Structure 1
Amino acid sequence: MNIAIAGTGYVGLVSGACFAEMGANVICVDVNQEKISALQSGRIPIYEPGLEEMVLRNCKEGRLRFTTDIVTCLDNVEIVFSAVGTPPDEDGSADLKYVLEVARSVGRNMNKYLVLVTKSTVPVGTAKRVKAAILDELDRRGVQIPFDVASNPEFLKEGAAVNDFMSPDRVVIGVETERAKEVMSRLYRPMMLNNFRVIFTDIPSAEMIKYAANSMLATRISFMNDIANLCELVGADVNMVRKGIGTDSRIGNKFLYPGCGYGGSCFPKDVKALIRTAENNGYNMRVLKAVEEVNEKQKELLFDKLYRYYQGSLVGKNIAIWGVAFKPETDDMREATALVIIEKLLSAGCNVRVYDPVAMDECRRRVGEKVVYASDMYDVLLNADALLLLTEWKQFRIPAWGVVKKLMNQPVLIDGRNIYDEQELMKSGIDYICIGKK
């Protein structure tokens, strides 16, 4: 089966490589010539475990190609996936200009039936606008060519995206016609043969499912962060509380870990977009607004703990940070807690040193030379007055505590992800501060 994917960002590149791995012939399209040239040379612009090997293997075997020209693809493909960016506008709504430009390009250049599938996360009603954009272009050409639109939202977790695509919890496909359903069924037949759940819905429901799922998960995170902050005040231990409620089969144990706030490309953007969609339809999403408010405040929590530890005297303090990516196994810093913490530390007059196994270049791009970039997880600790753990990379989980204490001026660790054992730190002579415990 021949398919094209417009957009070689995170979703487009992972999807293209994985579809090729499933046996499809895939052409990935992007207007960025520099990015396409890099991909054609075997250079992968994002960090994702397993992706580079998959891209190189499928390029070598001829199932995966890259181009800047979508026009040359359309006569030879049955499906075009739109996986371009939908960044938030100033009001929080999703910016659909790239999605609609793909639709217009298809309408201007298609000569036979195809299905245009939106893979990007888009608000309910986007498919109608995509369909209208194609029809407008066909009308300008004075031709009538059959086509379908569909919605196939992605559910890829950064750091586990390849596995999520190849072994999904579910595949959601929104269609309007039986013909579109048949085409999409042929593409996803390998997953049906492996008994993965492929769920066909109407298009508005498919568009809503992605937003609802991410907003539910964000709600659980903010709820547990609120519970953790209350636990500190009343003397409870949030880890015990988490275990206690997680054994309830109605609740389960996923996304019950307190921390210093969620970030990334999905949760913050999707919560904002769903709130805006509701407002555009005359409805107030009060719960989600609270979720967003709690999360923004939670990102400041570790700074507040440090401020209290030093009784407000932070000028000239040397602060070390372990992890700047919004989560492990990615270099993504979009909406990362580190960006908030670094800015507050600098404003308070601190000297900041950072180390992340993967996201150092991205941190340089976003923060510049306002902080010192350490060479490894121990170099960052040199003469530090406090260590803040923001990202729970595996290499941070079992450090040599004796070395940590020796390198630091003041052995205090503020754990933003609750991954360490308090008793072990106390025995090592390190002051330990976590979340959700007095």
Structure 2
Amino acid sequence: MKITSPSVASSDVLPGAPQLAYRQDGLYMEDVRLDALASQHGTPVFVYSRAAMLAALAAYQRGFAGRNAQICYAMKANSSLGVLQVFARAGCGFDIVSGGELERVQAAGGDMRKVIFSGVGKTRPEMKQALEAGIGCFNVESEAELDVLSGVALAMHRIAPVSIRVNPNVDPKTHPYISTGLKGNKFGVAHEDALQIYRHAASLKGLQVVGIDCHIGSQITEATPYLDAMDRVLDLVQSIEAAGIPIEHIDFGGGLGINYNQDSPPAADALWQELLGKLDARGYGSKKLMVEPGRSLVGNAGVCLTEVLYLKPGEEKNFCIIDAAMNDLPRPAMYQAFHAIVPVVPRRGTSTTVYDVVGPVCESGDWIGRDRALTVAAGDRLAVLSAGAYCMSMASNYNTRGRAAEILVDGTQAHLIRARETAADTFRGEKLLP
């Protein structure tokens, strides 16, 4: 999306949902003035657009029109209950990776039959919890996990539906920390071992094989890795079914990137039309399909509003010190990630200075943006864009900083979906020595 303002050059293309735009008195999300929200709720505060989430989901729905497909939101991207409600009410399933996430889906009214349990380290209590809830499928990531899950299911007189996650050894061309489909990654079983592991799974009395799963990484901005992974997975489907083990569904995971910094990932509907063409050509178009998008549904639907505390000039760097920090927005510190930063109410007629935008946490890694040209003064508010994914869900209480408030915007309405944490909230479960 292109955002223009008196302090943002018209040639700059900044990421964000179409629901984010400047008007005469500042930046708006849908029909809500962001500066007013910051005044009412304080900063830092996360603000999400319901319309932007549903628009992103609609692209997947268009791509799968007329197909037997299930979209499961990968809730690790943003697991706030209000966000989960939006997707549950839209008919989505959920991809979870812990028992805690399962409880969040239940609290948000999600359909347990549409829940997929992924992750390499499921515990026995989590397996039992998921079986009792009646989830749709376990995405199993090792042969040892198959044995444990079968034992847990048999002890409960249940049968666990399983899909085995296969590592296709395809390079997703993304940051190494979010690459998941190469031989050196911890996820899934090796492609060359998959057939033998499927045979083992089919022999276990506590399991029912229902599918095959593949997920190669996150923030993928090209179609080629998906196409390569699909070929590898379909080769396996052919071998597994030839061995007498039917595959009901094929799960292609998620990982589609978003526009952070003039990135140009394929649109979800265009990508899936291309992938479905390959699926049809190989004779598997009638199979049930599952996908697990996360970032691409929520990333550009959210912003973090923050206030400028101080401007600190230096010989080598100028620093814009804000009240949001790495505990609120961990992606730059963890992945050297880029987030566009723009004024909430642009200043007119003053000079622009290049700053490193940093937070108050006592770490040199506490930076939000490097070398940003800003027209700003202490007390101004900034919007950190593309903050809907992997920000609040990864937020911490480092330096005993309470996690930020969250607001969900729906047209002219703004709903508080998480209250700001107090210091007392952060140590509520702790006990003093006698």
Whose helix fraction is larger, Structure 1's or Structure 2's? Answer: 1
Whose strand fraction is larger, Structure 1's or Structure 2's? Answer: 2
Structure of higher RCO (CA pairs closer than 8 Å, 6+ residues apart): 2
**Alignment TM-score, normalising by the size of structure 1:** 0.30
**Alignment TM-score, normalising by the size of structure 2:** 0.30
